[in-house]
Structure 1
Amino acid sequence: MTQFDKDLRESDLSLKSVVDNSQSKMSTGQTQKIKLIRALLSNPDLLIRDELINNVDAESQLNILQFLSTWVRKHTLILISHKK
């Protein structure tokens, strides 16, 4: 979905890695990806995300949005973005 497996291999991290915005091994975009993947793995009925794709590369943005366009058929998604 987000080429996250490549990010993990390159940084020696896993989905279990501690994630916060000051994490030196990961970019803000990588942090956003891991938080999204963790949220999706919990299989929520409702997912609310603020600034979901602002710090990820254009290809990952497209992949995430394509995945979510299918995901929303069975779930509710609220996205908040300040992008114009």
Structure 2
Amino acid sequence: MAMQSKQSKKPTKKQAMANIVNHYESSLKENFIKNIVVGFETASQLYLDKINSGCTMEELKEFIKNNLKNKDVIEKVANGKTEND
């Protein structure tokens, strides 16, 4: 009778690559969701702080409009780009 090894077989190269890709995609999705939540929390806290400091609804509305209008500037800063880029 042949003895069976208690060690599990190594994954094939194809299986190993699939495992890496699956883990990478899972991590990306998880981090994407976390970043959405962090962004939501940050924006909500910013608006709440503005209101608590005595900002009127019209001032808050104008603040939000300016932020949305200048989102490309925020993106450049977040990506570490300069004005010359």
Q: Same fold (TM over 0.5)?
A: no
**Higher RCO (CA-CA < 8 Å; seq separation 6+):** 1
> Scaled by the length of structure 1, what TM-score is found?
0.27
Higher strand share: 1
Q: TM-score with structure 2 length normalisation?
A: 0.27
The structure with more radius of gyration? 2
